[in-house]
Every structure is written in C-alpha cells, then in structure tokens.
A and B are shown apart, each in its own frame.
Chain A
Amino acid sequence: MRYLMTTKGGAEADEKLYAEMGAFVEEMTKAGVLLATGGLEPRGLLVTSAGGEITVTDGPFLEAKDVVGGFALVEVRSKEEAVEVARRFRKIVGDGESQIWQVFA
C-alpha cells in the first residue's frame, strides 16, 4: 500500500535537524519504504475551474502554520506501518502535524 504524508509547521530547521532528517531519509530509502520525498515552496499556484473556465492565480495564501512544507510517498504493508514511519518523522521535526492518506493506484 502507498501512503502520501504531508507535513505542516514544525521548528525552524537547524543543522542538527538537517543531519537527523538526512539520516532518516536515507534509512527509509534503503529499507525500500520511501519512494519519493521533497520539500514544497511555501506559496504555489492555484488553479480553479468554475463554469468550465480555468483560472490560474498565485496562492493559496495560508497562515504559516497551515503551509504544507513537504511530502513523502511511502510503500508499506499496512496503515500501522505508515503511522510508525510518520511517528519517527515527527520525533525528528518536533511540534506540528503530519497528514497521512492512502494512495489508490
């Protein structure tokens, strides 16, 4: 099963956090769990369709605590494994929240 994890908020990244995250990403990649991961720019683009008309604007404009900072796509055997991976991730990044969705292929 695949799960998409996104993360919001969290402490300002310092060198220690970078090192720990680097090691964690490497470990999860080696274990065959992490398929893809990346950070997201704070402000992206907003594509809206209304009445068949497509509009592209800057945005979305969110409060800092709601900005999605990064994602990870993991391949695991169960929901519980996904939660365990997220738990380890949260231990490293500190306060904030992660969201987990199963991905149907």
Chain B
Amino acid sequence: MPGMTVEDVHRTIDAVWKLEAAKIVAALTRLVREVGLAEELAQDALVAALEQWPSGGIPDNPAAWLMTAAKRRAIDHLRRLERLERRQEQLAHELEHAPEPEPEDGDVLRLMFVSCHPLLPTEMRVALTLRLLGGLTAGEIARAFLVSEQTVVQRVAQAKQALADADVPFELPAGTELAGRLSSVLEVVYLIFNEGYSATSGDDLIRPALCLEALRLGRLLAGLAPGEPEVHGLVALMEIQASRSAARTGPSGEPLRLHEQNRGRWDPLLIRRGMAALLRARENPRPPGPYVLQAAIAVTHARARTAEETDWPQIAALYDALLRVTPTPVVRLNRAVALGKVHGPETALAVVDELTADPALKDYHLLPSVPADLLALLGRPAEARAEFERAASLARNTAERAFLRNRAAALPAAPPGQGDTLAEAAEAFLARDDLTPATRRSYTQTLHRLTLYPGPGTPLGALTPDHVAKAFATTWPDAAPMTWNRHRAAVRSFADWTSAPPRTRPTADLAARLPRHPEPRLPKPPLHPAEVARLLNAPDIPLRERALWSLLYTSSPTITEALALNVEDLHRRPAPPDPATASLLTRLTGARTRGPLFLSDLITRLESLALSDLSSLLEELKSSPTPLALWPRLIEALTTLTRPRKRPFWKR
C-alpha cells in the first residue's frame, strides 16, 4: 500500500487481529477441538500475515484473509493426522469442499466458556481470556497486570495444558451446569474491569485500557447470550461505573467519593447505555441476581443529578434484595449506609454495631470509618475520632491512612484529665523489663486486638469488661480453648498491672465476662489434604498470604526461612516445585525485582505470634467458618504438618 511503512502495516495487522482473534480462534477450535492447538494455528496465520502483507500489500479483505489462512492451517494439521487415522482425511476433505461456513456466534460463546472454565485458577482464566478473546499479546497482558511477560506466557501455557489434560469439551454448558459456568465467565470479565478501574496510579495507559477490554467482552457476551439477565446486569454495572471515570479523581489525583464527584463530568452516553442494558436485564422475569441488583443501585445513583437528590429508599431496598442473594458483610455495611440516609444515623449505627462484632470484618478498614462518619453526624466527636484512628491503623494504603488520620485529627479528642489512653497504657505495659520475649510476643498480640476495639485513643479509665468481651467475641470467636485462655491471661495481667499503683485504673476485673475455657488433652489428627486445598483456595485469602501459605505447605521451609526470602532469590534459585505456588509467587512479586518477597509488616505480625498450641488449632481450623481470620496460625500449622521437613526448594 503506498505510503505505508512496515510498522504501519504491522499496526494494521495488529488491529485486524484484535478485532478478529475471538472469531478465528473459535472457528479453529471447532475444527481441531482443542483450544491450545487452535490458538497456535491461528498464531501461525498471524505470522504469515506479518511476513506477507508488508511486501504483497494489505489484502482487500484482511479479516477474511486471516480466517482463510488460519483454516488452511487447521486443515493441513488434520491432514497430517490422516496418516494415523483415515477418518480424519475424510473430515479434512469434506471441510475443504464444503462451502465456507459463516463464523458462528455460538463458537465464540463456547470459546468464552472454555477460557473461563472454573477448573483454571482465576489468574489463568483472565490471561487466557484476554489472549484468546481480546487478541492481546502476552506483553500487553503483562503490563496491564504488572507482572512479567514470562509469567503471562507461563499462565497461558499452563491454562491450555490444563484444559487439554481435562479434555474440556468445546460445548455450551447445559442445564444446571450453565449458571455456575456463566458466573465464572462474568467473574473473569468483572475482574478484568476492576483491575483497570481500581488502578488510580501508574503511568501505563494499558491499565485503564483493561476497562475497555472488559466492556467489550461484556458487550460481546451480551450479544451472544441475550437471554441471560446477569450478563446485561454486568454490562450495565460496568457501563455506569465507566461513566464516572473522568469524575473519580480530584485535581491532584486524589480519589473522590460518589457524593463529592462533579456529576457534570459523568459520561451521559455510557449512563444511557448502562440504563438500556439494565432494562434488557429486567425484561427477564427471573428474580434479579447480584449483577442486576448492583447495576440497579448504580443506575439509581446515576439518575440523581445531585448527591442530595439520591433516591436512598430505593437504594436501601435494592441492598435488602442484594443481601438476600449475596449475604456478605460488605453488602451489609453498604446497606447500613443506605439505611442511615433513609432513617438517620442512629438506625445505621445500630446495624453497624452488629457488624463490628463480625469476625470476618475485623481487619476491614472501611468498617470503622462508617460508624466514625455516623458518630460525627450524631455529635459524638470523641467516639468518632477514636473510630477514625482505628480505621487508620487498619488501612494498608498510605494515602488512605493519611486521609483517615486527617479525619481523626479534625475532630476534638476526649476531654483531658482522664490519664493514659489505652494505647499508651498498653505500650507501657509491654515495655516492662520483667517480661520474657515469648510472653511479650503473646501479650502484644492480645493487646493489639484489645486496643482496636474501643480504639487506641480511649482513656484507660473508660475501658470496661464489655469492651473486652466484645473484642474477644469478634477476634477469637472460634479460638481453641488454649488460645482463648492465653489471651484471657494476658488481659488479667494487664488489668492487674494497670490498677496497681502508681497507675490508677479502678479495680474492675476486665476479664469478668470472659469465662475460662476447658482445655482438651488429646492431640488432634492432621488436616486432610483436601481440606488444606479448600482453605488454600478460599476466595477471601489475600494473594500474599496465599502465596506464603502455599509455599510453606508445598516446600516446607521454616517460617523464618520463608520470610527471609527476597525477590531476587526467586530468580537465582531453582524454581518452586509446583506450578500453582510458582504462579502465586510470580503474581506476588509483580514488577518488583528486588527486596523482601513478603513485605515487612507481615513479618512483624508473624513475629508477634505465640505458636504453642498447634494441636488445638487443628481442631479450630476444621470447625471455623472463617479460616481467613485464622490465617497466621494456619501458616504455622501447615508448616508443622509437613514435618519431618523436606529441603526447601531453593536449597536443593
């Protein structure tokens, strides 16, 4: 083509490929019945285009050229198999002489179900979907997810292998299987969207581009499965969220909350598309699922021209419905906020109080900031300040922590003259020189949790047995008797120390509402491997914990050895023996090339653990509905379980 450089041609090929990849790979998978092979053959066709088009010119119909070239390769492949089996020859012959079949929408949908197959770990599903359906290169996916290109190449290869090993059929799931498989697809699409949407930092524009990829995948899916309301719900949710992109950050890049955003900067076109998608979802008489309900909430916000015009009764009702289908603590928290807007902060505070007793939320930093806001509205600034401080101490992100500290600092503290705060007293108590290191570690763990409850700024004199009982009920609801008793002993020691001269806390038994638990004597059997696998794959476990845990379980270093690992060790030493652990570790390091593999605050937290009661912990593990809350001790338990030790992989 006149005036086009080789680079221009390559960019055109890339554009055509990205528009056509899904159709081509899907059509080839139908022919060769294996997604990995289909993708390789399609890539061969792409390579042929890259070789031929710069000199021969861009064909008249580039998309059809690619499809034909790819199919020819599939037929050649089937021909080669013919030597093994005559029937294939017949098939290849028929294919070649049959009229060119139109690319079938159904094939693309099948491809989506295969690449999002639940047998694959989430990160593999994501990589494979972007590769096969979005036509993205490994390098593009790597930059978007801040991992190395090698990692993406590995993930895609492992995913293809796993699909081939399991002989996953190229078929649409039917009957009862459909719902679960569809939700796996939706999960992948929404995860891609959120990966792009939550990236508020980073200069690489490809991260926001993930939102576009997800939107396109969602819209594509909606066209292919128009009868599925949840698909339209997800599309609506993404369109509405994307409509707020330009308004989400302030002049200096700080995140703005919904009520602070300039609604004039919301994209009306995307809002309209979102509303239309929601209408399509609601055409279906089935009761709305979680995506439809979340979309309905998003649309209700989008309808309000100002934050004050928000239809909170409607939003509260939608949260009620959402809570029925996804009864998660986070939904309950959001519902409480909505209830507060309808019935006033008192009502919301009562709901939130129930939530603060939920062990699953004990480290969720957004939780205390909600009652903090409510308390401030109710004219109880000292309590509000304590809650903001608590939220700040739980926040992991520096900017967020600073924001919460500022909110706390803007409120007046409790009136002076009540002596030490709880945090100060705890610090003095732990700084005594008559504690053994082990005891100090154990007490630190107890007091850390105890101060979080009423908040570190609470005057010591205001601490009551009720506070203590609530902290225990929330933090150690399923603790083994030995663990419970250890924390109880720490509280009693703290109570004695703070009420003895020269300290002046009134002598109330802080452990009054904590009964001593009888301790069983017999050691418990180790966890079943299937149970370990279940815990390892629990959806709520953060990546870092999962990686460490998996490493400990599969390679059995001591915990100290594992925590001493640096990122560079991973490159220098032999690879971890099992691919799942390797994949988790690579994801964890991301773009980092040096420094501690597991970051330092984790190390501090682990060091503060007293790890004496393993056998009772095993019992706890099996009965606990919240393994997340137990993870630090789980790690230690799992390490212990694999004794006698194998050599850690990097020492082999």
**Is chain B a partner of chain A in the same complex?**
yes
Residues of B within 8 A of A73 (CB): 269
Complex CA gap A29/B226 in Å reads 13
Chain B interface: which of A31-39, A53-61, A93-101? A31-39
Complex CA gap A7/B16 in Å reads 22
Check B11 against A32 for contact (C-beta < 8 Å): no
Residues of A within 8 A of B15 (CB): 76-78, 80-81, 83-84
Q: Can you name the residue of chain A whose Cβ is closest to the Cβ of B9?
A: A80
B378 interface contact, C-beta 8 A: no
A45 interface contact, C-beta 8 A: no
Tell me, rounded to whole Å, the shortest Cβ–Cβ distance linking A42 to chain B.
Answer: 25
A80 in complex: contacting residue of B14, B61, B219, B223, CB < 8 Å: B14
Check A84 against B62 for contact (C-beta < 8 Å): yes
Task: Map CB proximity to B onto A54-80 as digits: 1 under 8 Å, 0 otherwise.
Answer: 000000000000000000010111101
Complex CA gap A80/B58 in Å reads 13
Check A33 against B216 for contact (C-beta < 8 Å): yes
Complex CA gap A36/B239 in Å reads 14
Q: Can you name the residue of chain A whose Cβ is closest to the Cβ of B272?
A: A36
Tell me, rounded to whole Å, the shortest Cβ–Cβ distance linking B49 to chain A.
Answer: 13
Check B223 against A78 for contact (C-beta < 8 Å): no
Check A32 against B218 for contact (C-beta < 8 Å): yes
Given A36-B269, A84-B62; A31-B246 close (CB under 8 Å): no
Tell me, rounded to whole Å, the shortest Cβ–Cβ distance linking A33 to chain B.
Answer: 7
Task: Map CB proximity to A onto B60-87 as digits: 1 under 8 Å, 0 otherwise.
Answer: 0111000000000000000000000000
Q: Can you name the residue of chain B whose Cβ is closest to the Cβ of A26?
A: B223
Check B19 against A81 for contact (C-beta < 8 Å): yes
Task: Map CB proximity to B onto A17-37 as digits: 1 under 8 Å, 0 otherwise.
Answer: 000000000000111110110
Tell me, rounded to whole Å, the shortest Cβ–Cβ distance linking A57 to chain B.
Answer: 28
B486 interface contact, C-beta 8 A: no
B153 interface contact, C-beta 8 A: no
Tell me, rounded to whole Å, the shortest Cβ–Cβ distance linking B421 to chain A.
Answer: 49
Counting chain A residues whose Cβ lies within 8 A of the other chain, the interface size class is: 20 to 34
Residues of A within 8 A of B218 (CB): 32
B342 interface contact, C-beta 8 A: no
Q: Can you name the residue of chain B whose Cβ is closest to the Cβ of A34?
A: B219
B11 in complex: contacting residue of A30, A76, A78, A88, CB < 8 Å: A78
Check B18 against A30 for contact (C-beta < 8 Å): no
A105 interface contact, C-beta 8 A: yes
Tell me, rounded to whole Å, the shortest Cβ–Cβ distance linking A22 to chain B.
Answer: 15
Task: Map CB proximity to A onto B252-270 as digits: 1 under 8 Å, 0 otherwise.
Answer: 0000000000000001010
Complex CA gap A83/B11 in Å reads 11
Check B62 against A35 for contact (C-beta < 8 Å): no
Check A84 against B246 for contact (C-beta < 8 Å): no
Q: Can you name the residue of chain B whose Cβ is closest to the Cβ of A76?
A: B15
Give how many A-B residue pairs fall within 8 Å (CB-CB).
Answer: 55
Q: Can you name the residue of chain A whose Cβ is closest to the Cβ of B16?
A: A84
B608 interface contact, C-beta 8 A: no
Tell me, rounded to whole Å, the shortest Cβ–Cβ distance linking A87 to chain B.
Answer: 8
B223 in complex: contacting residue of A29, A35, A77, A84, CB < 8 Å: A29
B212 interface contact, C-beta 8 A: yes
Check B18 against A77 for contact (C-beta < 8 Å): yes
B12 interface contact, C-beta 8 A: yes
Residues of B within 8 A of A78 (CB): 11, 14-15
Tell me, rounded to whole Å, the shortest Cβ–Cβ distance linking B617 to chain A.
Answer: 50
Check B273 against A35 for contact (C-beta < 8 Å): yes
Check A31 against B219 for contact (C-beta < 8 Å): yes
B209 interface contact, C-beta 8 A: yes
Complex CA gap A80/B63 in Å reads 14
Check A32 against B12 for contact (C-beta < 8 Å): no
Complex CA gap A58/B606 in Å reads 76
Residues of A within 8 A of B351 (CB): none
B215 in complex: contacting residue of A32, A83, A88, CB < 8 Å: A32
Complex CA gap A77/B137 in Å reads 13
A83 in complex: contacting residue of B12, B18, B269, B273, CB < 8 Å: B12
Given A31-B219, A32-B217; A80-B11 close (CB under 8 Å): yes
Complex CA gap A49/B218 in Å reads 43
B220 interface contact, C-beta 8 A: yes
- B residues 155-206 near A (Cβ < 8 Å) are none
Given A30-B220, A32-B220; A84-B12 close (CB under 8 Å): yes
Complex CA gap A71/B11 in Å reads 25
Given A73-B269, A84-B62; A30-B219 close (CB under 8 Å): yes
Complex CA gap A33/B269 in Å reads 14
Residues of B within 8 A of A32 (CB): 215-220
Check B269 against A84 for contact (C-beta < 8 Å): no
Q: Can you name the residue of chain B whose Cβ is closest to the Cβ of A2?
A: B269
Check B12 against A80 for contact (C-beta < 8 Å): yes
Given A80-B11, A80-B14; A31-B269 close (CB under 8 Å): no
Check B19 against A84 for contact (C-beta < 8 Å): yes
Residues of B within 8 A of A80 (CB): 11-12, 14-15
Complex CA gap A84/B20 in Å reads 11
Check B12 against A75 for contact (C-beta < 8 Å): no
Tell me, rounded to whole Å, the shortest Cβ–Cβ distance linking B130 to chain A.
Answer: 12
Residues of B within 8 A of A84 (CB): 12, 15-16, 19, 62
Residues of B within 8 A of A30 (CB): 105, 219-220, 222-224
Residues of A within 8 A of B14 (CB): 78, 80
Residues of B within 8 A of A33 (CB): 19, 216
Q: Can you name the residue of chain A whose Cβ is closest to the Cβ of B273?
A: A35
Output the residue of B12, B14, B19 with the most chain A CB within 10 A: B19
Tell me, rounded to whole Å, the shortest Cβ–Cβ distance linking B204 to chain A.
Answer: 14
Given A30-B219, A81-B18; A105-B11 close (CB under 8 Å): no
Residues of B within 8 A of A85 (CB): 19
Q: Can you name the residue of chain A whose Cβ is closest to the Cβ of B213?
A: A77
Output the residue of A29, A36, A91, A105 with the most chain B CB within 10 A: A105
Return 24 A-B CB contacts under 8 Å, by A number.
A29-B223, A30-B105, A30-B219, A30-B223, A30-B224, A31-B219, A31-B220, A31-B223, A32-B215, A32-B217, A32-B218, A33-B19, A35-B269, A75-B212, A75-B216, A78-B15, A80-B11, A80-B12, A80-B14, A81-B15, A81-B18, A83-B12, A84-B12, A84-B62
5 other A-B residue contacts (CB within 8 Å) besides A33-B216, A84-B19? A29-B219, A30-B220, A30-B224, A76-B15, A80-B15
- Taking beta carbons and an 8 Å cutoff, which residues of B are in contact with A? 11-12, 14-16, 18-19, 61-63, 105, 209, 212, 215-220, 222-224, 246, 267, 269, 273
- Taking beta carbons and an 8 Å cutoff, which residues of A are in contact with B? 29-33, 35-36, 73, 75-78, 80-81, 83-85, 88, 91, 105
Report, nearest first, the 3 A-B pairs whose CB atoms are least far apart.
A30-B223, A32-B219, A80-B15
